[in-house]
Structure 1
C-alpha cells in the first residue's frame, strides 16, 4: 500500500471516529493537533512549488514533516497519538531516502527516490495536513493544500 493510500485510510478512520463521537479532542490535544497541522503545512508546500525545488530541499521538507509528527507524538497519548503514529509510519519510507550520489563506499541502505516517490510522499503530507484540519475543525478536508490564510 502506498503512502497516499495509508494516509487516506487513517484520515477516513479519524473522520468516522469524530463523526461518531468516539473521538473527541481534549483542549490540549486540539492545540497539539493544530500545531501539527501548521507544522506540516509549513514543511511541505503546494505541489507546484515543491516540484520546482531541488531534490535535496524536497527531502529536507519531508524530513521536517516527519520531525513535526515525531515531536507532536511525543507530547500526547490516546487517539491523537495513535493517529500521529500511523501517520509517521506511513511516511517511514522517507527515512531511507537520500538526495546525494553515493560516491565511494556504502549508503547505509538508502536509495535515491524517483520524482514520483517524492510526489507521493508530499501528497501524503498534504493529506495528513488536511485530515488534521478536519480533526481540529480549522479547514476544509476537501482541499488539503489550502492554507487558512488563503495562500
Structure 2
C-alpha cells in the first residue's frame, strides 16, 4: 500500500471511531491534536507554494511535519497515540529521501524522490492535518 492510501485508510478509521463513539477524544487529546494540526499546517504550505519550492526545501518541510507528529506522539496515550504513531510510520519513507546529490560517495541508502512522491507525502500530511482538526473539535 502506498503512503497516500495508508494515510487515507488511517484517517478514515479515526473518523469512523469518532462517529461510532469508540473514540471520544479527551480534552488533552483535543488540545494536542489542535497543536499538531497547527504544526502540520505551518510545516506544509499550500499545494502551489510547496510545488514552487526547490526539492531541498520541500524535503525540509516534510521532515518538520514528521517531527511535529513525533513530538505530539510523545505527549499522549491511547487512541490518539496509536493514530499518531501509525501516521508517522506511514510517512517514514520521507526519512530515506535526499535532495542532494551524493557526488559518487555513499548515501546511507537514501534515494531521491520524484516530484510525485513529494506531492503524495504533502497531500498525506494535509489529510492528517484535517483528521487532527476533526479530533480537536469539541
By the TM > 0.5 criterion, same fold? yes
Contact 2:44 2:65 in 1 (8 A): yes
SS in 1 for 2:52: coil
Contact 2:29 2:136 in 1 (8 A): no
Mapping for residues 1-150 of structure 1, pairs under 5 Å = 1-137=1-137
Looking at secondary structure, tell me which structure has more helix per residue: 2
CA distance in 2, matches of 1:93, 1:106: 18
Residues paired across the two proteins, number: 138
Any gaps of 5 or more consecutive residues in structure 2?
Answer: none
SS in 2 for 1:51: helix
CA distance in 2, matches of 1:14, 1:93: 22
Q: TM-score scaled by structure 2?
A: 0.97
CA distance in 1, matches of 2:36, 2:64: 11
CA distance in 2, matches of 1:53, 1:105: 26
CA distance in 2, matches of 1:69, 1:48: 23
Counterpart in the other structure of 1:148: none
- Which structure has more relative contact order (CA 8 Å, sep 6+)? It is 2
